[in-house]
A and B are shown apart, each in its own frame.
Chain A
Amino acid sequence: MQLLVVEVLRGWPGRSGASCGSWCLLGGVESKRCHPASRNVRDPSGPGCAGVVGDNSPGSHYCGFRRQRSAVQRQRDLISHSQITRLYSRFTSLDKGENGTLSREDFQRIPELAINPLGDRIINAFFPEGEDQVNFRGFMRTLAHFRPIEDNEKSKDQNGPEPLNSRSNKLHFAFRLYDLDKDDKISRDELLQVLRMMVGVNISDEQLGSIADRTIQEADQDGDSAISFAEFVKVLEKVDVEQKMSIRFLH
């Protein structure tokens, strides 16, 4: 039995340095919470948790229990336990190899994703640079972008690190779907590729080309025939990104 402890909630949006609980899981046969359901941090000497390192998978971790307290309103900032449990069980159900990580093939087995025009790119977004496996922490980190933005978060302290589900980060996520070579610009070719994926086979290349040209022309302000992130943000300023890129149950 492996003791896989994942420090899930560290860096979770809204926590910004607040105390993190930990989620102690026994991978493999069953998963058990090793400390009670409150988010207040407990002693590492809680039952069943040996503070041992996990195993082979890269990026899995240590059992780090933090003790910092945070503001009273912390309760609302966090993802609820039931959701984490749910997502963890989804993670394990996708993980056919049962090694605590997901590979690209695991994602491609999801039928609806296979027919999503942007399926491959979305899958890529989960995997950090150059890696082929993603663990639960990375999984949650990517999903964190899609948490709805709460009203009370908007007025939180501005000097903490920006939460992952801020508007700017959401837009950045979408931007990265276009920008494969990561040069912070969407070139005409990159745009054409995405357009072709979304539109299918029914539009001729010339028509698509002129649509792409028009798109770039509309957004481009510095004349480099490509859309930079700032221009991307500007063009979408009237769009309700917070709603379009939020998934309710991640609340």
Chain B
Amino acid sequence: LLLLLSLVCCSAAVYVNEPNLSKSFLPHYEPDHGDAVSSSQDMRLHVFTVDYDYVQIPYEVTLWILLASLAKIGFHLYHRLPRLMPESCILIAIGALVGAIIFASDHKSPPVMNTSIYFLYLLPPIVLEEGYFMPTRPFFENFGSILWWSVLGSLLNSFGIGLSLYGVCQIEAFGLTDLNLLQNLLFGSLISAVDPVAALVVFEEASVNEQLYMMIFGESLLNDGITVVLYNIFIAFTQMHRYEEIESIDVFAGFARFFVVGLGGILFGIVFGFVSALMTRFTHNVSAIEPLLVFMFSYLSYLSAETLYISGILAMTACAVTMKKYVEENVSQNSYTTIKYFMKMLSSVSETLIFVFMGVSTVGKNHEWNWAFICFTLLFCLFWRTLSVFALFYISNKFRTYPFTFKDQLIISYSGLRGARSFSLAFLLPVNLFPRKKLFITATLVVIYFTVFIQGITIGPLVRYLDVKKTNKKESINEEIHVRLMDHLKAGIEDICGHWNHYQLRDKFKKFDNKYLKKILIRDHQPKSSLVSLYKKMEIKLAIEMAESGMKISKSSMASLQSDSSRRVHRLSPTEVESMRDVLARNLYQVRQR
């Protein structure tokens, strides 16, 4: 903690000195710079000059990123802190700190946050990372529930909050009557953009059961697309000058557009995913460009979708999901690692920057405070989320094998943390259409701070207190094998009963995949030999690992061999167990191999 503070102070000191430096030192050599102070020393050659304006923007951005990264390092070094509060809290705090410094030193901060930069540069990496690292199997197993919950939940939340706030605005005493229905609806849609990263981290750490994790994860993924679509629709409506001109035909058009945007985005993404997978089939001689292909194609899918006003987020997610399976088989090991880490890095940078901006705007003159609006906003957010969770899950529980318990639902409703997304959307409201933009920004910030700090900090203890059902991370080979047996058994019984379910759909898809898609998209695809080559790859990896950790294993295995000489069965090292499990995992679902 001390280290962290000292780092912060250092950077702050540097920062504060910068603007002063640029004023006190002489500007650079070029005579036409026109600075009145330096008239007498223009003629001499300066041994040491400082030119700050030239590098100001990249310099400050880099400094911010570095600062946030240092904060993250410090955060994780101090063991107790991650248990207390989520990482986002620290990032926001850093942002606020930076903001305070800028404000105090009256420094003109670089104008780096506007619509195009946010939507074109900052958002895509985050979305890409989420889509790429999505665990596909649990996602598709719970797909129905996730779809039902995200789509309807977002809609319910947006409209609910918007309409309730509109109702509140009608009350004269609060001085809010100039906010019309559309503005309120728009605000409702942007404030219901959920950003549960912090909640997910808590869940992962507490190993909650997979279904719960997937619901929140899936919700955050789809919620993005939906919120942005709603936002754009409402902005378009607002731009139609007077809202009395909006007829029902426009509302229907809005609904239809919703579907077009959503499904179109997914379709786009899938197409791009296949194209890029196809490209990677031929890159075995130029493996250095493989990461480039992956990133560029996903980005291209995003941009193309945005051109047509289709949801770029959904497109990019679909592209990443489609691409991942085939790309992983085609690219070299190094490229795979590069892609993975580069993606994480980019998204981390984006997220940091957004949080810093958020902090920076907190401290400033951009505010308008209105007690009624803000308090009611907060209230309605919580209320509508809880309502939508319980209502929607009550219905979807009837169709699930594994219904969500009351505890699960409580956790889900509590993990509706807002984050950078709402903030960005609020920040980017066009001022000409929204004269009271500052009010919205303030309200958004308050909600974000409240949810991130208070809910973020308390959700950990809540999860532990409620003792939510935990996932069982498979620890043993036995579990792996027997669970697979049970899966096959269940599928068999379901076939006997003539019951159609997820498993069959997945099998049908696998069959189609093996027959057609893999042949086209994966190089050298021969079903048998690819598994054998995979197996060989794993053996090599295992051998390398054993050689590297040779000292440790040989000592421990010697000890265990001596103590358990009665057991003649060969004791396997953990890495071997791991590789066995991987081999099993890949093979135990090859239903069609007979």
Contact = CB atoms under 8 A, between A and B. Distances in A.
Interface stretch (B29-37, B162-170, B483-491, B553-561): B483-491
Interface stretch (A4-12, A19-27, A69-77, A209-217): A209-217
Contact of A87 (B479, B489, B497): B497
Given A116-B492, A214-B577, A245-B486, 10 more contacts: A173-B489, A194-B485, A198-B481, A199-B590, A201-B593, A202-B532, A202-B593, A210-B572, A215-B477, A245-B489
Contacts of B531: 202
Contacts of B494: 247
A210 B479 CA distance: 16
B496 A107 contact: yes
A247 to B, nearest CB: 6
Interface string B490-520: 1111111111000010010000000000000
Interface residues of B, number: 50
16 contacts: A110-B495, A113-B495, A115-B594, A116-B488, A173-B489, A194-B485, A198-B488, A200-B590, A201-B528, A202-B528, A210-B572, A211-B583, A214-B569, A235-B482, A247-B494, A248-B400
Contacts of A216: 569
Contact of B478 (A112, A198, A215): A215
A244 B488 contact: no
Nearest to A231: B478
A164 interface: no
Contact of A113 (B492, B567, B588): B492
A79 interface: no
A203 B587 contact: yes
Interface string B352-383: 00000000000000000000000000000000
Interface stretch (A28-36, A49-57, A59-67, A117-125): A117-125
B472 interface: yes
Nearest to A173: B489
A90 interface: yes
Interface of A: 87, 90, 93, 107, 110, 112-113, 115-119, 122, 143, 146, 148, 173-174, 177-178, 194-195, 198-203, 207, 210-211, 213-219, 225, 232, 235-236, 238-241, 243-250
Contacts of B592: 115
Contacts of A107: 496
A217 to B, nearest CB: 5
A202 B591 CA distance: 12
A239 B493 contact: no
B178 to A, nearest CB: 53
B570 interface: yes
B401 A200 contact: no
B593 A239 contact: no
Contacts of A117: 488, 591, 594
Contact of A112 (B495, B570, B580): B495
B504 A143 contact: no
Given A115-B591, A118-B489, A238 B472 contact: yes
Interface of B: 400-402, 472, 475-479, 481-499, 504, 507, 528, 531-532, 535, 567, 569-572, 577, 580, 583-584, 587-588, 590-594
Nearest to A198: B588
A36 B254 CA distance: 52
Given A211-B580, A239-B472, A122 B497 contact: no
B588 to A, nearest CB: 5
B180 to A, nearest CB: 48
User: Which of B488, B492, B532, B577: most chain A Cβ within 10 A?
Assistant: B492
Contacts of B567: 217
Given A207-B583, A214-B477, A218-B478, A198 B492 contact: no
Contacts of B577: 214
B455 to A, nearest CB: 29
Nearest to A94: B496
B380 to A, nearest CB: 34
A238 B592 CA distance: 30
Given A148-B401, A202-B528, A235 B479 contact: yes
A122 B493 contact: yes
Contacts of B484: 198
Contacts of A195: 481
Given A199-B590, A235-B482, A247 B572 contact: no
Contacts of A214: 477, 569, 572, 577, 580
Nearest to A220: B569
Nearest to A113: B495
A177 B487 CA distance: 13
A246 B477 contact: no
A221 B464 CA distance: 33
B492 A122 contact: yes
A117 B496 CA distance: 14
A225 B528 CA distance: 32
B478 A247 contact: no
A239 B483 contact: yes
A228 to B, nearest CB: 13
Contacts of B479: 235-236, 238-239
A245 B594 contact: no
A178 B482 CA distance: 10
A213 B570 CA distance: 8
B593 A243 contact: no
Contacts of B588: 198-199
Contacts of B593: 200-202
B580 A241 contact: no
B594 A200 contact: yes
A90 B483 contact: no
User: Which of B479, B489, B587, B594: most chain A Cβ within 10 A?
Assistant: B489
Contacts of A201: 528, 593
A119 B496 CA distance: 10
A76 to B, nearest CB: 15
B289 to A, nearest CB: 32
A187 B594 CA distance: 24
Contact of B482 (A87, A174, A203, A210): A174
Contacts of B492: 112-113, 116, 118-119, 122
Nearest to B491: A116
A211 B484 CA distance: 15
A244 B503 CA distance: 12
Nearest to B581: A211
A203 B581 CA distance: 13
Contact of B489 (A110, A122, A219, A250): A122
Contacts of A146: 490, 493
B478 A236 contact: yes
Contacts of A174: 482, 485-486, 489
A159 to B, nearest CB: 29
A86 B587 CA distance: 35
Which 4 residue pairs spanning A and B have beta carbons closest together? A200-B593, A122-B492, A112-B495, A248-B401
B401 A243 contact: yes
A106 to B, nearest CB: 10
A150 B531 CA distance: 42
A218 B476 contact: yes
A107 B477 CA distance: 31
Contacts of B532: 202
B227 to A, nearest CB: 33
A204 B409 CA distance: 47
User: Which of A173, A203, A232: most chain B Cβ within 10 A?
Assistant: A203
Contacts of B481: 195, 198, 215
Contacts of B476: 218, 235
B591 to A, nearest CB: 6
Contact of A210 (B472, B495, B507, B570): B570
A238 B482 CA distance: 12
